[in-house]
Chains A and B, each alone.
Chain A
Amino acid sequence: MKSRQQKTKRYGMVIDLDKCTGCGACMVACMAENNVPFKEDESDKLDSITWMRVYKLTNGKSFPKTDLCYLPRPCMHCEGDHGHPPCVSVCPAVATDYSRETGIVSQIYTRCFGCRYCMVACPYHARYFNWWDPVWPDGMEKYLSPNVSPRMRGVVEKCSFCFHRYQLAMDRAYYEGKRELEEDEYQTACTQACPAGAIIFGDLNNTGHDVNKLKKSPNAFRLLERLGTNPKVYYTSSREWVRRAGDNYLKKESK
């Protein structure tokens, strides 16, 4: 059977940090779209699940030189070295995998037995453990997305780049007899929810997609590039201190 997809895709994001206002719409959209459970008290971010998390960065200077930046952090869907992200090879039960078709790092909830080794391996804290069984407020079960399975206690979950949307788009394309997806046919929930248009999503390999051009910007950078994780989420900022906050540098390393 001939493959429906002609080219290998590397889905990724470019997030313009100069546009991000820190409103959190991406976080809310992500939780609603992916049936992410929440607790009554979500103030402890060390045990609450936020596939997309907005960090607040400061330049550490006092007024009037003080500056802020909000940094949305989904799963980086790292490619690592030839498709070996830090989290995938450590999983003892193949419950997480790197797709060479899409570049998306998947998580198989029914395969995961909760050893949490992948969480230890991820430097971005993008992986979350279900410390509790999900409990929804009365009636809210009716509003859960039927396309995403809720997770049980004791397994790890993370951002999937709304993979169910990719599957739906692919199904639609198949029925329409198409081989390729248009850029707007597969978009993540956070991308669509961002009121500032700060998040751009698409195939990094596809020269027709915006992300392909934006990632080449001189202001583009990735988080912790020096570790060799090779993430597929890029950030752009015109501010030097923001770009520098993306990685660790020795004191002697000049700016």
Chain B
Amino acid sequence: MDTALIPKGVKRCPLWQFILMLGPVVALMLWGVFAMLLVLLKGLNQTNMNDAYGFAIWIWADLTVIALGGGAFFTGFLRYIIGKDELKNIINYAVIIGFVCYSSALLILGFDIGQPLRGWFIFWHANVHSMLTEVAFCLTLYFGVLCIEYLPLILENRQVDKVPFFHNFSHNMHEIMAVFAATGAFLSFFHQGSLGGVPGVLFARPFAFREGIFIWPWTFFLFTWSAAACGPCFTILITKITEKIAGKQLVKQNVIELLAKISGWMLATYIIVKIIDTWYWAAVTAPSKGFGLSFFYSNNPLYGYWILFMEIVLCGIVPAAILITGKGRKNPAALWIAVILAVLGVCINRWVMVLQVLAIPVLTFESWAMYFPSWQEIATTLLPVAYGIILIALSYRYLPIFPNEAELNPMEPLSSQEQEPDSVEPIVDQKQELKPAEA
């Protein structure tokens, strides 16, 4: 039924199967939309946030998806600025994943504020000293860049591409994509950093506060670094999951290995710096404010040293060690484990820097505050996940995302009855092509 929309030379499952598979995801999305409407109409009393937890699961989700979406800017940076040409085979997918992540982050920010109708105040009454202002500006601008990067992909859809204007427009956009990739990388370095600055500047929250250079706390650089390290891991992970679901190889192994290698070295260097940062904070910064390290990891039902071990050793050193070795990258199981651990590591880091910060009592006569999200918060956090799956599924089905797919999965010649309608159409003249409605 939708054969005419499917890219040439590749095979997709029947439409009914596609719809059936997306059914539960659509249901999940509708549940999320319902919860979002409740939050928007009734207010943030629909959540389990309170005056101790001004930030909660949504801000964690925001920080996390932006870090995971970092694959888009960093892969773009490597492809267009550094000149790693092989990455052209995965850059499209990295852009789509980044688009999903950033649009999700903006969506979450939209309903996370108490007065959504005043959301524009952040731009209009901007406080240049606030890290959140920097986040809002860079995030929005970079989302604009991602839209520009995503657009030519949409225009490459088989039917859209038939329109000469769109074809030429898309082609020309590809030509100047390096400019946008550079802009995107510049903006990303800043907003990933300013997201790190959000907890890092909290000088009255000893667990979050970090010293730094000029106006930037060390977390500014650590967040950028970790996003550049773990973002590509997320791109690899989603690519691998897509390959599993599609039942075929979509990206050549050497491309995956190259990205994994770069990601591994980024992760290895990041984790060294992170260890130094943690040591300095534990030995100098926190004690100067009267807090010993054990204070942050004891006398509460959840946060123990295990979380520090998970973040730095299990989800930092281990995946880095796997990814920087050729053997590790070539072993499919080890690669899977490494990218999952790296992604988990950045999720834990963002959790710790948002939720654990607020759990810890600062006044001596207060106690640890624990939090569990309400169903509305869970549903609205799953909403972007469902939306992401749908957008990725649609993009995979109808857009030529993977340049190597046809080559890696050659199709058997079709019988005359099975041939796609497009291939038997007579070549239309230029005049007709200019009328997309008739075509």
Q: Which residues of A contact B (CB under 8 A)?
A: 44, 46-47, 55, 57, 71, 86, 89-95, 111-125, 127-133, 152-156, 223-224, 226-229, 245-251, 253
A-B contact pairs, 14 of them (CB 8 A): A55-B365, A90-B132, A92-B121, A94-B126, A95-B125, A115-B112, A116-B54, A118-B54, A120-B55, A124-B362, A128-B51, A223-B363, A248-B291, A248-B295
Question: Which 10 residue pairs are nearest across A and B when measured between Cβ atoms?
Answer: A114-B114, A154-B114, A248-B290, A116-B54, A119-B54, A113-B118, A46-B50, A123-B362, A92-B132, A86-B204
Q: Are A120 and B122 in contact (CB under 8 A)?
A: no
Is B136 part of the contact surface with A, judged by Cβ < 8 Å? yes
Given known pairs A93-B125, A247-B364, the reply for A115 and B132 (CB within 8 Å) is yes
Which size class do B's interface residues fall under? 35 or more
CB–CB A46/B51 < 8 A: yes
Question: What distance in Å separates the Cβ of A32 from its nearest Cβ neighbour in chain B?
Answer: 21
Q: Does B129 contact A (CB under 8 A)?
A: yes
Contacts A224-B204, A227-B203 given; does A114 touch B115 at CB 8 Å: yes
**B292 an interface residue at 8 Å Cβ cutoff?**
yes
Residue of B113, B118, B131, B291 near A90 (CB, 8 A) is: B131
Contact B125 A111 (CB under 8 A): yes
Flag if B202 contacts A90 (CB, 8 Å): yes
A residues near B253, Cβ cutoff 8 Å: none
Give CA–CA (A116, B405) in the complex, Å.
Answer: 47
CA distance A90 to B129 in the complex (A): 7
Q: A113-B113, A113-B115, A154-B113 are in contact. Are A248 and B364 (CB under 8 A)?
A: yes
- Given A89-B129, A119-B51, decide whether A224 and B114 contact each other with a Cβ distance below 8 A: no
A154 touches B43 (CB 8 A): yes
Chain A residues near B15 (CB, 8 Å)?
A: none
CA distance A118 to B127 in the complex (A): 13
The smallest beta-carbon distance between B164 and chain A, in angstroms, is 45
Q: Please state if B202 and A92 are interface contacts (CB–CB under 8 Å).
A: no
A156 to B129, CA, bound (A): 19
Residues B35-57 near A (CB distance < 8 A): 43-45, 49-52, 54-55
Residues of A within 8 A of B369 (CB): 46
- Which chain A residue lies CB-closest to B199? A120
- Residues on A with beta carbons closer than 8 Å to the beta carbon of B203: 86, 227-229
Q: Mark out the residues of chain B between 4 and 56 whose CB falls within 8 Å of any chain A CB in the assembled complex.
A: 43-45, 49-52, 54-55
**Nearest chain-B residue to A253 (Cβ)?**
B290
* B51 with A227: CB separation less than 8 A: no
Contacts of B124 in A (CB 8 A): 93
Docked-complex contact B45 and A132, CB < 8 angstroms: yes
Q: How many A-B residue pairs have CB under 8 A?
A: 163
Min CB distance A97 to B, Å, is 10
Cross-interface CB contact of A250 among B127, B132, B290, B365, cutoff 8 Å: B290
Nearest-neighbour CB distance to chain A for B130, whole angstroms, equals 4
With contact pairs A46-B51, A93-B121, A253-B290 given, residues A153 and B132 touching in the complex (Cβ less than 8 Å): no
Bound-complex Cα distance A92 to B363 (A): 26
What's the least CB distance linking A58 to chain B, in Å?
9
The closest CB in chain A to the CB of B206 belongs to A227
Alpha-carbon distance A89/B203, docked complex (angstroms)? 11
- Give the residue name and chain of the A residue nearest to B119 (CB): A113
A132: B residues at CB distance < 8 A:
43, 45
Since A129-B44, A248-B291 are in contact, a sample of 12 more A-B pairs with Cβ atoms closer than 8 Å, ordered by chain A residue number, is A92-B121, A93-B126, A95-B121, A113-B113, A113-B119, A119-B54, A125-B366, A131-B50, A154-B44, A226-B290, A228-B204, A248-B289
Q: How far is the CB of B404 from chain A (nearest CB, A)?
A: 44
| Residue of A47, A86, A111, A253 touching B51 (CB-CB under 8 A) | A47
Residues of B within 8 A of A129 (CB): 44, 49, 51, 54, 114
B205-A249 in contact (CB<8A):
no
Q: Considering the complex, give the chain B residue whose CB is closest to the CB of A80.
A: B203
B63 CB-CB contact with A under 8 Å:
no
Closest CB in chain B relative to A113 CB, distance in Å: 4
Residues of B near A246 (CB, < 8 A) are: 364
Specify which chain A residues have a CB less than 8 angstroms from the CB of B362 in the assembled complex: 123-124, 224, 227, 248
**With A113-B119, A153-B43, A153-B114 in contact, is A71–B365 under 8 Å at CB?**
yes
Q: Is B183 an interface residue when CB atoms closer than 8 A count as contact?
A: no
Q: Report whether A111 and B121 are in contact in the complex, using a CB–CB cutoff of 8 Å.
A: yes
Q: Is the CB–CB distance between A120 and B202 below 8 Å?
A: yes
Residues of A within 8 A of B291 (CB): 248, 250
- Decide yes or no whether B325 CB sits under 8 A from chain A: no
B200-249 contacts to A (CB < 8 Å): 201-206
- A47 and B363 contact, CB distance less than 8 A: no
Contact flags B284-328 to A (C-beta < 8 A → 1, else 0): 000111111001000000000000000000000000000000000
**A125 engages B363 (CB within 8 Å):** yes
Whether B133 is near chain A, meaning CB under 8 Å from some CB there, is yes
Closest Cβ of chain A to B85, distance in Å, is 40
Query: Is B198 an interface residue when CB atoms closer than 8 A count as contact?
Result: yes
- Across-interface contacts of B126 in A (CB, < 8 A): 92-94
- Within the complex, which residue of B130, B198, B295 is in contact with A91, where a contact is CB–CB below 8 Å? B130
Contact A117 B127 (CB under 8 A): no
Chain B residues closer than 8 Å to A123, beta-carbon distance:
204-205, 362-363
Once the chains bind, are B45 and A249 in contact (CB under 8 Å)?
no
Q: Does A124 contact B363, Cβ atoms closer than 8 Å?
A: yes
Question: Is the pair B114, A117 in contact by a Cβ cutoff of 8 Å?
Answer: no
Interface residue B358 (Cβ < 8 Å from any Cβ of A)? yes
How far is it, in angstroms, between the C-alpha of A156 and the C-alpha of B114 when the chains are bound? 9
- CB contacts (< 8 Å) of A227 on chain B: these are 203-204, 206, 289, 362
A115: B residues at CB distance < 8 A:
112-114, 122, 132
Give the Cβ gap from A38 to chain B, nearest Cβ, in Å: 14
